[in-house]
Every structure is written in structure tokens, then in C-alpha cells.
Structure 1
Amino acid sequence: MPTTLILGGSGKVALHLTRILTQPPYSQKVFSLIRSQDKVSQIRSLNAEPLVNSLEDLSASALADIIKSTSASTIVWAAGAGGKGGAERTRTVDRDAAIRAMDATAQAGVKRFIMVSAVDIRVRSKPAPEWYNDDDRAKSDQMWKALSAYCQAKLEADVELVKGNEKRGLVYTIVRPSTLSDEKGTGKVEAGKVHIGGPISREDVAAVVAACVVDEATGGCVFDVVPGEAGIEEAVRGVAVEKVHVFEGRY
């Protein structure tokens, strides 16, 4: 049975992803690494296996041992500081722990690694993407001003995943959603080289990640995802066919 290990399993996107992956048509075995014992019953109610540990405290080798114990074929990074603990903790979780997770995945001999990142993560001294319009550039300015520590931490983690892959050899995918909302998923998105757009449902983001889990052709792809009119499987397949990499030349 295909097995996925979700890192940061108690987050809202991760919980949606757990539910989606454990049900048909996916019917996967899911392990969920969570920080708090309080979330164990919630994870079990979604037919997944909780693993209680702190990504902030685990070394790469200790996390590699956990990964090996699950026999996971795919690792999903869905963790984040969530603005708690200020800029220092954001760096500790969103950058440092994420990079250790990449190292641990490689050490464990697992190839598939899916990163949940964010739209517009890029080196801002380089030109904006050529498909951006004035509204995109304004939203970019607003996001980086309001969430500078988060954006910088995600940038450094994503750069390490892409540039450092020569030493790790992971089959990575980076999913970069726009602002997240708790609205019910529509099952429709726009993915690839897209305008920044409005908020996207966490449920839809989880469905996009699930589609990437089972479509290994998304390996090597880095793509933005926003609300749209295409079915999720169709949108993800389009990204895979075109080998979209929105990060290229922007790090």
C-alpha cells in the first residue's frame, strides 16, 4: 500500500490532506507527525497513524529513523510556525526544520518530497515574473511587507530544496498557494504560471497536494495555485505535462 508521512500533521491543510489520502480513490496509509499529544485522537479519527514529536527538536538522523519506521514512499512538508513565536521561531521551523526534513528524507532513502510553500516566494532583487501585472506586483509588495520573516524563511528553504538537490537526489515538488482560507473547497483551481489572485481554500490546496502525491510526473515542478475554473486533477496534470518551474531564475 502506498504510504505518505505528513510532517506538521495537525495544521489545517495537513488535516484535509490526511482525510483525502486515507479515503478512496487514494486509500493510502498515512502517518502524521504532530507536536502535541492533544491531537492524537483527531488524527486517529481520520484513519491515520499519529507520531508525536517536535520537528524543532528532531535532528536529521532522528527524523530519518522515524521516516524509515513508517516505510513511507512520500514525505509531505506541511509544517510551519504559523506566526507563533516571532521571526526567530519562523526561521527555526519554516527554514531550519524544513531543511533538516529534506536531509532526513534523503538519509532514509526516500525520494519523493512535496513542499507546501507560498505564492511569490522569490529573490525580490530579480525581475518579477513576466506574467505578473500591476495588481500582482502590488500584492507581492503587500505580502513581503506584512510577512517578511515568513517569506524569507520559505525562500531560503525552497532554494535549499532546489539548489541542494544535487547532494540529496530527491524527486521534489513545491506547491505554492495564494493566501489560505477556511472556505469549503470548490474542486477547481488555476495552477502553474498564474496571477497571484485571491484566497484559496485550504481544502483545495490539500486536494492539489494529494494529486501531486499520486502523480510522480509532478517531480521537479514548482508551481503556484490559486482559485480557478479547472478541475484539480486536470490542473495538476497540466503542470506535470508542461514541467512548470516558476522558481527557475528567481532564486
Structure 2
Amino acid sequence: MENILIAGANGITGKQIVNLLKASQYFNPIAMVRKEAQLNQFKADGVETVLADLTKDLTHAVKGADKVLFAAGSGGKNVVEVDQEGAKRLMAVSKMAKVKKFVMLSTMGADNPQAVEGMEDYMKAKQNADEYLRSSDLNYTIIRPGTLNNSQGKGKIELSEKLNKQGKISRADVAQTLVRALHDDAPNNSTFEIIQGNTLIGEAMNELNMSVN
């Protein structure tokens, strides 16, 4: 089983990712959390943890990790230091640790920050993090979902490198897509957008894989 470090494990989407990985026969989750108090809930569930802060040195966090999944966010409070620079810090140490893949939870609109009124700073931070990852020499997948909601997951999405339309998607389906991206046969070195749709997640990703290879 591959060890997967999840940055943002304590978030709403992050917790769903941890649960999916815990139930997987392929992956072992390592929950990266920022506060001591957050460790106990994961330890109680038998999930490995590591205490690390995206605004500080992260060298220790990636030790033993085969792949990294970035699902962290500042909630708009510190977008440059967390969403941008924190992501870049984790990429840098991941590269040094020779992790096999870095999966990034980004957002639709990150390719054109000025078009999203009121969220330009956040979108710019996500754009900068995405561009840094693409130029890092790490094997990567960048996933850009539409507007997130807490609806029940359907296991079906609409996926394209550029959808050219807006849409919603459940956090549950985003979590499933992120976990699917960790597999070796998932699209590598690619960026794509997702919203709710009618195609099974695995099937949609296989179709993308065939189109880019």
C-alpha cells in the first residue's frame, strides 16, 4: 500500500478523502494537521498523523510519503501564505523527497483570476500554486472543481481540461475524484475542471487519459 500525505485532512473535503483512503486496498492515509487537538480524532480512527504547519518548515511531513494530496485552504484568511506559499513549500519538500505524485485540489477560475469578482486574490493564489506545480518537475494532477456543496455524492461528473461553463459539484464527488487521481493509471501531468455530471468518475478520467496520451 502507498502512503498518502493529505494536507488539509481536517477540512470538510479532507476528512472525506481520509475516509476514502482508509477504506482503500491501495492506499494508507497520513493526515497532516496543524494543531495538537486535531490529532486525536484521527488517531482514534487508527489513521496515521503528522503535525505540520504550511507556513513553516515541512521537511518532516513528507517523510515516508509515496504521494501527496493537497486539499488545504485558508478559508480566505491568509491566501498568499497558505493557499499559495504553503502549497509551494509542500511541493518543494515533496520534490526533495522524490514523491511519486502530487495531486492538487485547485478551483475553477484559477486560470483567469480577474474574471471572478470579489475573489481575485484567492484565484491568483491558486493560479500561482498551480503554475508552480506544473513547472516543478513533479508528476502531478491538478483538479479544478466548480462551486462546492455538501450534497450527497453521485459518483458521476462532467470533466474536461476546460469546461467553458459554470457548475456545482459535491465535496463527496470531488474527494472521490482526488483519490482516483492518485492511481498510477490516472491522468498524469494534467489539469482539468469538474462539475456534477452523468459520467462515472473513473470512466471520465479514463476518457481524459486516452485523449491526452
Over the aligned positions, Cα root-mean-square deviation in angstroms equals: 1.8
2:183 corresponds to 1:214: yes
1:146, distance to aligned residue in structure 2 (A)? 2.1
In structure 1, the partner of 2:66 is: 73
State the identity as a percent.
Answer: 30
1:3, distance to aligned residue in structure 2 (A)? 1.2
Q: How far apart, CA to CA, are the structure 1 residues paired with 2:202 and 2:44?
A: 26
2:53 corresponds to 1:54: yes
Contact 1:119 1:196 in 2 (8 A): no
- Aligned runs of 1:134-153 on 2, under 5 Å? 141=115, 144-153=116-125
* Greater fraction helix: 1
1:231, distance to aligned residue in structure 2 (A)? 0.7
Mean CA deviation greater in 102-111 or 187-196: 187-196
Q: How far apart, CA to CA, are the structure 2 residues paired with 1:15 and 1:122?
A: 27
For structure 1, list consecutive stretches of 5 or more residues without a partner in the other structure. Answer: 126-140, 245-251
Task: Decide which structure has the larger Cα Rg and report it.
Answer: 1
For structure 2, list consecutive stretches of 5 or more residues without a partner in the other structure. Answer: none
Change (3 A) 1:67 1:188: same
In structure 1, the partner of 2:76 is: 83
Q: How far apart, CA to CA, are the structure 2 residues paired with 1:20 and 1:198?
A: 24
Contact 2:113 2:121 in 1 (8 A): no
Match of 1:226 among 164, 188, 195: 195
Q: How far apart, CA to CA, are the structure 2 residues paired with 1:198 and 1:220?
A: 24
1:45, distance to aligned residue in structure 2 (A)? 4.5
In structure 2, the partner of 1:28 is: 27
Q: How far apart, CA to CA, are the structure 1 residues paired with 2:177 and 2:166?
A: 17
1:106, distance to aligned residue in structure 2 (A)? 0.6
In structure 2, the partner of 1:5 is: 5
> Which amino acid letter does the alignment assign opposite residue 155 of structure 2?
G
In structure 1, the partner of 2:130 is: 158
Q: How far apart, CA to CA, are the structure 2 residues paired with 1:184 and 1:46?
A: 23
Scaled by the length of structure 1, the TM-score of the pair is 0.79
> Which amino acid letter does the alignment assign opposite residue 116 of structure 1?
L
1:90, distance to aligned residue in structure 2 (A)? 0.8
- Aligned runs of 1:161-180 on 2, under 5 Å? 161-162=133-134, 164-165=135-136, 169-180=137-148
* Greater fraction strand: 2
Q: How far apart, CA to CA, are the structure 1 residues paired with 2:36 and 2:176?
A: 26
1:202, distance to aligned residue in structure 2 (A)? 0.5
1:123, distance to aligned residue in structure 2 (A)? 4.2
Contact 2:65 2:99 in 1 (8 A): yes
Q: How far apart, CA to CA, are the structure 2 residues paired with 1:44 and 1:203?
A: 22
> How many pairs were matched up?
212
Q: How far apart, CA to CA, are the structure 2 residues paired with 1:93 and 1:42?
A: 23
2:103 corresponds to 1:111: no
Change (3 A) 1:234 1:46: farther
In structure 2, the partner of 1:96 is: 85
Does the residue aligned with 2:203 lie in a helix, a strand or coil? helix
Does the residue aligned with 2:61 lie in a helix, a strand or coil? helix
Q: How far apart, CA to CA, are the structure 1 residues paired with 2:104 and 2:54?
A: 15
Change (3 A) 1:40 1:156: same
Q: How far apart, CA to CA, are the structure 1 residues paired with 2:52 and 2:211?
A: 38
> Which amino acid letter does the alignment assign opposite residue 38 of structure 2?
K
> Which amino acid letter does the alignment assign opposite residue 21 of structure 2?
L
Match of 2:169 among 200, 205, 223: 200
2:16 corresponds to 1:16: yes
